[in-house]
């Protein structure tokens, strides 16, 4: 280790810094999570599988993961557009719009849920417009999607924005002088450049949506088999003092989320490998 | 392919980037747009490329009006100061870009694309870098790749915006000589923008000197250097000394000295500004009967083959810069603080 120690660094010592990092991660992340696994271990294998594959639970997985994936996808498209507008155009009130993007970060999720439920219910401002089309938004799975889209937007915008700011307009001009049309320039130049950041934003929005509870329960209606999300089932079980059952669901969510995030990270690594870090 | 710019005006708000500019670029020539920053040279280049619109005036390619033609259709090769290579694409794919985005009917087959790209990479002598990515290349290499990419679409004209501006001095010199040789082989009509007078004079067939949105002079490097059209051109094309004096009967009277200016033989007598290049300044030891501007040596600096001497005249505050050859300097053996006489061998006079 003498080589490592001789290298100058602001933080004192590699050993100390690494030790702190591991301790901190253990206290904040690993120990609470392993507690979930330990609690689950009090169930027999049979009881565990029965608990996590009950029809009502399976329906909630579908809704949670499906709506989260869809919401993150919608945000990937819309967020890219918002980031593009904020980076490339100057218009009055731009700073205000820029600040608005962060609102879903800051707003207590319950407040967001109540507000969304009010606006999207059949007599709310927006929900009313959909009544003639026979589409109900609030208190249906569609409402879940709306809430998850709402909370995920800033993740995409804030990860894509800096990359777009670094994307010189000259690149687009260069593509144009080489004969590329707008669509080709976007598909061959702009999109590949922002793709890694877009994937990061997507992953963050997706992860956030899977864990979201506060804003969803107000707008979802929470009908078993239809509009009930997995976090709500966990809370329900906790309220019934079924701690083992609650942690069993938590473990499944944890494993699936981890697998999905790992997949997205791999995808990101694969796209980033091909481009400049500097 | 000749280019003609007719009475082009372009304003940004109240700032006139181009003010009624007309210019003709002949087929196969290498033309330099030279001027300080803000002179409109880059705007003019971008107008020719179609990357900038005009408020009024026309751009013609080979006699055909191209003013409203989109940059995509103009078939110009454009090289940017900061290369603008696509960083997610390999060098090969960067050069192939222009061929791959063609509509299917005009797109060459894959084998043909490969052949063309390797041919171009060989032309810029970087064939061995085909599989690398832009961030793995040096600045000089990137700029050569950018040039190959621009040439891949067989442009009718080649436009270069300060192509060597971001490179260090040595690479810059090599690259501009290389560009000149390349142009001599290809004879593609080319326009390049620079703020470096040495670069413009060394590389181009003709130089266009611009200032404040207007063309000051167009001519061969020799012409603009030897016969500058106005004081701005003279000052911009190298270091100068300025003397306030009078012009009278074909002679410029400066301090206690007078220099013949045959070109001003019939200019009415009056105040005038006389300019002299540092290498046209003669430094003499004072002796009886010698004429010249009395001055004191302030500083002597040997710079390679030249010796630069700063002289402070007794009258006036502006330091006179002189460049002497090594032999002359050795003969004079000047030291700081010594009194000398200064004589411009040749001056250029513009009305004050």
B129-165: pLDDT as tens digits? 999 999 999 988 999 999 999 999 889 899 999 988 8
Q: Parallel, antiparallel, or unpaired for β B157-161 and B3-12?
A: unpaired
Task: Say yes or no: A171 contacts chain B, CB-CB below 8 A.
Answer: yes
**Average pLDDT estimate for A148-165:** 92
- Residue B158 CA to residue B182 CA, distance in Å, equals 12
Task: Say yes or no: A277 contacts chain B, CB-CB below 8 A.
Answer: yes
pLDDT for B43: 93
Distance of residue A273 Cα from the nearest chain B Cα, in angstroms: 9
Q: Between residues 185 and 224 of chain A, which touch chain B (CB distance below 8 Å)?
A: 188-189, 192-193
Is the CB of residue A171 less than 8 Å from the CB of residue A189? yes
- Residue B239 CA to residue B244 CA, distance in Å, equals 17
Is the CB of residue B291 less than 8 Å from the CB of residue B256? yes
B48-90 pLDDT tens trace: 999 999 999 999 998 889 888 888 888 899 999 899 999 889 9
Is the Cβ pair A275, B87 closer than 8 Å?
A: yes
Is the Cβ pair B134, A276 closer than 8 Å?
A: yes
Distance of residue A185 Cα from the nearest chain B Cα, in angstroms: 9
B248-296 pLDDT tens trace: 777 777 776 777 777 776 677 778 888 888 888 888 888 877 777 888 8
Is the Cβ pair B71, A177 closer than 8 Å?
A: yes
Q: Suggest the residue from B75, B97, B191 to mutate for an interface test with chain A (most A CBs closer than 10 A).
A: B97
- Compute the mean pLDDT over every residue in chain A, rounded to the nearest whole number: 87
Q: Taking 60 as the threshold, does the pLDDT of residue A90 lie above it?
A: yes
**Average pLDDT estimate for B338-351:** 84
- Residue B254 CA to residue B342 CA, distance in Å, equals 11
Task: Say yes or no: B34 contacts chain A, CB-CB below 8 A.
Answer: no
Is the Cβ pair A174, B80 closer than 8 Å?
A: yes
pLDDT for A155: 93
pLDDT for B141: 92
- Residue A226 CA to residue A224 CA, distance in Å, equals 5
> Among B335, B349, B225, which Cα is nearest to B283's?
B335
Is the Cβ pair A177, B149 closer than 8 Å?
A: no
A139/B256: higher pLDDT: A139
**Average pLDDT estimate for A104-110:** 87
Q: Taking 60 as the threshold, does the pLDDT of residue A275 lie above it?
A: no
pLDDT for A227: 83
Q: Taking 80 as the threshold, does the pLDDT of residue A231 lie above it?
A: yes
pLDDT for A63: 92
**Average pLDDT estimate for B323-346:** 85
Is the CB of residue A121 less than 8 Å from the CB of residue A136? no
- Residue A174 CA to residue B148 CA, distance in Å, equals 13
pLDDT for A277: 40
**Average pLDDT estimate for B228-239:** 88
Instruction: Give pairs for B127-130: CB < 8 Å, separation 24+.
Output: B129/B91, B130/B90, B130/B91, B130/B92
B111-132 pLDDT tens trace: 999 999 999 999 888 989 999 9
pLDDT for A276: 45
Task: Say yes or no: B135 contacts chain A, CB-CB below 8 A.
Answer: yes
Q: Taking 60 as the threshold, does the pLDDT of residue A23 lie above it?
A: yes
**Average pLDDT estimate for A119-139:** 85
- Compute the mean pLDDT over every residue in chain B, rounded to the nearest whole number: 88
């Amino acid at each position: 280790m003498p080589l490592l120690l001789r290298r100058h660094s602001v933080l004192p010592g590699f050993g100390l810094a690494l030790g702190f990092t591991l301790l901190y991660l253990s206290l904040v992340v690993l120990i609470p999570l392993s507690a979930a696994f330990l609690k689950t271990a009090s169930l027999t294998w049979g009881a565990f599988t029965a608990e996590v594959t009950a029809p009502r639970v399976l329906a909630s997985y579908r809704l949670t993961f499906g709506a989260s994936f869809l919401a993150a996808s919608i945000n990937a498209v819309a967020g890219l557009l918002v980031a593009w507008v904020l980076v490339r155009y100057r218009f009055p009130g731009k700073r205000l719009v820029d600040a608005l993007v962060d609102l879903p970060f800051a707003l207590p999720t319950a407040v967001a849920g109540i507000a969304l439920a009010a606006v999207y219910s059949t007599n709310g401002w927006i929900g009313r417009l959909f009544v003639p089309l026979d589409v109900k938004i609030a208190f249906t799975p569609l409402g879940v999607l709306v809430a998850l889209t709402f909370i995920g937007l800033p993740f995409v915008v804030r990860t894509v924005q800096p990359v777009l700011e670094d994307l010189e307009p000259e690149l687009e001009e260069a593509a144009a002088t080489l004969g590329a049309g707008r669509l080709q320039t976007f598909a061959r130049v702009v999109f590949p450049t922002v793709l890694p950041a877009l994937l990061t934003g997507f992953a963050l929005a997706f992860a956030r949506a899977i864990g979201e509870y506060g804003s969803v329960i107000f707008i979802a209606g929470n009908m078993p088999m239809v509009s009930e999300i997995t976090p709500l089932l966990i809370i329900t079980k906790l309220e019934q003092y079924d701690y083992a059952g609650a942690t069993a669901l938590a473990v499944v969510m944890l494993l699936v989320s981890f697998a999905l995030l790992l997949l997205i990270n791999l995808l990101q690594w694969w796209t980033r490998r091909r481009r400049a870090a500097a | 392919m000749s280019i003609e710019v007719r009475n082009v005006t372009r304003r940004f708000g109240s700032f006139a980037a181009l003010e009624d500019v007309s210019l003709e670029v002949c087929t196969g020539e290498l033309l330099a747009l030279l001027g300080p920053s803000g002179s409109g040279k880059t705007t003019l280049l971008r107008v020719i490329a179609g990357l900038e619109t005009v408020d009024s005036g026309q751009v013609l390619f080979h006699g055909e009006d191209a003013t409203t033609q989109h940059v995509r259709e103009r078939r110009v090769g454009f090289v940017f100061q900061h290369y603008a290579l696509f960083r997610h694409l390999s060098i090969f794919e960067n050069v192939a870009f222009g061929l791959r985005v063609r509509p299917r009917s005009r797109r060459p087959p894959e084998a043909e694309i490969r052949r063309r790209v390797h041919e171009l990479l060989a032309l810029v002598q970087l064939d061995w870098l085909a599989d690398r990515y832009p961030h793995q290349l040096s600045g000089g290499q990137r700029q050569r790749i950018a040039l190959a990419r621009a040439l891949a679409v067989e442009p009718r004209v080649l436009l270069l915006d300060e192509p060597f501006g971001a490179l260090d001095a040595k690479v810059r010199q090599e690259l501009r000589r290389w560009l000149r040789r390349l142009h001599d082989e290809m004879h593609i009509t080319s326009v390049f923008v620079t703020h470096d007078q040495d670069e413009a004079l060394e590389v181009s067939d003709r130089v266009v000197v611009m200032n404040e949105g207007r063309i000051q002079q167009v001519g061969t490097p020799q012409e603009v250097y030897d016969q500058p059209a106005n004081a701005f051109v003279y000052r911009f094309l190298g270091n100068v000394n300025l003397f306030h004096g009078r012009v009278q009967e074909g002679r410029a009277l400066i301090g206690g000295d007078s220099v013949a200016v045959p070109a001003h033989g019939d200019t009415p007598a009056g105040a005038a500004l006389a300019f002299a290049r540092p290498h046209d300044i003669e430094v003499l030891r004072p002796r009886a009967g010698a004429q010249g501007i009395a001055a004191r040596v302030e500083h002597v600096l040997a710079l390679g083959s030249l010796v630069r001497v700063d002289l402070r005249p007794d009258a006036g505050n502006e330091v006179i810069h002189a460049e002497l050859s090594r032999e002359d300097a050795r003969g004079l053996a000047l030291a700081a603080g010594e009194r000398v006489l200064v004589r411009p061998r040749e001056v250029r006079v513009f009305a004050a």
